[in-house]
């Protein structure tokens, strides 16, 4: 049984653990090892404590739990570049590797999109490393490829792709159908 709820400040360490474990598993063959090994739970916990102290409307974060243990999360807010005509952005969505492929990402995305709509957002953008196979997740629910650019992670540069959902209402409909 899974429970989805709004993230709270006391979740920071658990979110950080999911973030780091999922990030390392996802990117182990896509990112240089030294860049992966520099990512620590301690650093991510500080990041999540900072995020979770913000007003919820500034950066909503949602977790999914199994038997009271956080196994995934999603967060986002206002689109950061202002270059593509999207007003909202998914900043992070991660599930523990043991919980991927079970439909939990879809549930997180649906909950998040619904909250973003309630906050007045009309569209969503998400950046994904181009070589990350999870980009299929966004395409499955109707995202369009928007742009590609280089990003620096640690010491190296990688290509990432922006995907966009032009209309949150259409995204929510697709999440109900698929």
- The pLDDT score that the predictor gives to residue 38 is 81
- The per-residue DSSP string of the chain comes to -EEEEE--GGGHHHHHHHHHHHHHHHHTTTS-HHHHHT--HHHHHHHHHHHHHS-TTTS-EEEEEETTEEEEEEEEEE-SS-SSS--EEEEEEEE-GGGTTSSHHHHHHHHHHHHHHHTT---EEEEEETT-TTHHHHHHTT-EEEEEEEEEETTEEEEEEEEEES-HHHHHHHHHH-
Domains and CATH numbers, the chain: 2-177 (3.40.630.30)
pLDDT tens column, 32-63: 888 888 888 999 999 999 999 999 899 999 99
Q: What single string gives the DSSP state of each residue in 91-138?
A: EEEEE-GGGTTSSHHHHHHHHHHHHHHHTT---EEEEEETT-TTHHHH
What per-residue confidence (pLDDT) applies to 178? Answer: 66
Q: How far is CA 176 from CA 102, 141, 171, in A?
A: 16, 10, 9
Regions of the chain where pLDDT drops below 70 = 178
- 95, with CB counted inside 10 A (0-12, 13-18, 19+), is buried
- What is the structure's pLDDT at 173? 96
User: Within 10 A of 118 (CB to CB), how many other CB atoms are there?
Assistant: 11
Sign of the dihedral through C-alpha 19, 139, 78, 176: negative
């Amino acid at each position: 049984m899974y429970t989805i709820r709004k993230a709270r400040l006391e979740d920071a360490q658990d979110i950080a653990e999911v973030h780091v474990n999922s990030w390392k598993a996802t990117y182990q063959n896509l990112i240089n090892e030294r860049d992966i090994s520099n990512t620590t739970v301690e650093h991510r916990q500080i990041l999540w404590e900072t995020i979770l102290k913000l007003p919820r409307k500034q950066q909503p974060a949602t977790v999914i739990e199994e038997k009271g243990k956080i196994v995934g999360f999603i967060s986002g807010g206002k689109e950061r570049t202002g270059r593509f005509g999207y007003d909202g952005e998914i900043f992070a969505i991660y599930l523990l590797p043991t919980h991927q492929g079970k439909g939990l990402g879809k549930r997180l995305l649906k909950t998040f999109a619904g909250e973003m709509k309630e906050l007045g957002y009309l569209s969503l953008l998400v950046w994904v490393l181009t070589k990350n196979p999870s980009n299929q997740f966004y395409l499955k629910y109707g995202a369009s490829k928007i742009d590609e650019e280089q990003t620096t992670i640690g010491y190296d540069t990688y290509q990432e792709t922006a995907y966009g959902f032009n209309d949150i209402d259409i995204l929510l409909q697709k999440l109900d159908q698929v």
